[in-house]
Chains A and B, each alone.
Chain A
């Protein structure tokens, strides 16, 4: 007896139409439609798509509650062994719909679910809640995506143990599982290093967090008319650290007025930063935040003006998400104050 599957796809993959048909309400069809053909082929008779649900991407986005209710009713009536959605590649609304409806089916009906999409699809935000197979960013990747999804789907239906995300091809859910490696760590590290030296491919065991990129802004045309602000992650604060910025894992930043301040002295400024020897910064905070030189340049007319406020936090162990939020906030203040450029110093 083959496993029973319900498949969710959008109007485009059902060949109803493109954007002009994205408003269609969910419809229930018998058997497989569109990408379901490739999934079923990969299951080689072990599983079959009983029903396909087709829903317009805009309809789902704009009528999420109604769409969810209708689809959950249909899936419940069918009681499949697995609910599979997509793959959505980099289609944003489709990916969101796939992930959202899969999550609802899993949580409200207790049915196993699987979807697939590109890692930067907004729907991939739900990767911790449901299994999402990572796919290419466009439908040309269907040939790779369908067998990967089909294989993982079959494992789920059979109740087999699901391996690590890098092996099975789903998006990392941030779950760690203890197991014994065949080779000890030192050997694995040396093997990896030799591969790296030989320009051979290797797989890291500890991927670094990914950082997005922002394109550089145009250069300053005329420095002598520019207002320049100083910012630092080096923890320079007025003596006594009035805002109590933590020496590690800072939870906030400080905004400090330097109107009329020509030089940072040991009596007036210090660092709140832990993790590096504070002696040098405490003796002369200009070594981290060069107010003295900026004033000099201001007086000489090299720069138009040193902005009268500076922003500081402590970079030591501070979460990327926090740092990002701090700067996103004070960048708007800098902008509102007409600052033309920023010098950020880090320790």
Chain B
């Protein structure tokens, strides 16, 4: 799906936990996430701590969208 969005001319970032799949599928901007059932959260933390993590991850996704890439790139930090 990311590839079709990209093909339509819209930059897209893929946030997922299993980044090798994202690489195989052909996403160009990839942000690794926490876990399969809760990519953007962590139920073992408090709501506030969780939001903080989510804020960081979404921030990283936005950073990926504002970063020029020429090849598939995983935005770790």
A residues within 8 Å of B by Cβ? Answer: 208, 211-221, 223, 226, 228, 231, 233-234, 276-281, 283-284, 286-290, 292-294, 296-297, 302-303, 313, 323-324, 326-328, 331-332, 334-335, 339-347
Contacts and interface: CB of A to CB of B under 8 A. Distances in A.
Nearest to A303: B62
Given A289-B40, A302-B62, A342-B11, 17 more contacts: A211-B25, A214-B7, A215-B28, A219-B69, A220-B11, A276-B36, A277-B37, A279-B37, A284-B41, A288-B39, A290-B54, A324-B3, A327-B1, A342-B2, A344-B2, A346-B15, A346-B22
A328 B4 contact: yes
B8 A223 contact: no
Given A211-B25, A223-B62, A217 B11 contact: yes
Interface string B33-73: 10011111101000000110011011101100111111100
Contacts of B6: 214-217
Contacts of B16: 345-347
Contacts, number: 169
A212 B3 CA distance: 9
A343 B61 contact: yes
A212 B65 contact: no
Given A231-B5, A326-B1, A290 B40 contact: yes
Contact of A231 (B1, B9, B59): B1
A214 B29 contact: no
A344 B8 contact: no
A331 B10 contact: yes
Contact of B54 (A217, A281, A286): A286
Q: Interface centre among B1, B4, B10, B17, by most A CB within 10 Å?
A: B1
A334 B8 contact: yes
Given A214-B7, A344-B5, A290 B28 contact: no
Nearest to A271: B37
For chain B, give the interface size range: 35 or more
Contact of A278 (B37, B58, B61, B62): B37
B13 interface: yes
B15 A324 contact: no
A340 to B, nearest CB: 7
10 A-B pairs with the lowest CB-CB distances in the bound complex, closest first: A287-B41, A331-B8, A327-B4, A327-B1, A216-B28, A346-B16, A217-B11, A280-B38, A287-B38, A342-B12
Contacts of A276: 36-37
A347 B24 contact: no
Given A286-B40, A344-B12, A211 B5 contact: no
Nearest to A335: B8
Contacts of A290: 40, 54, 57-58
B14 to A, nearest CB: 5
Given A220-B65, A296-B55, A344 B40 contact: no
A295 B4 CA distance: 26
24 contacts: A211-B26, A214-B28, A216-B29, A216-B70, A218-B11, A219-B69, A220-B65, A231-B1, A278-B37, A280-B37, A287-B50, A290-B40, A290-B54, A303-B62, A331-B10, A334-B10, A340-B10, A342-B5, A343-B15, A343-B58, A344-B2, A344-B13, A345-B40, A346-B14
Contacts of A346: 14-18, 22, 39
Contacts of A218: 11, 68
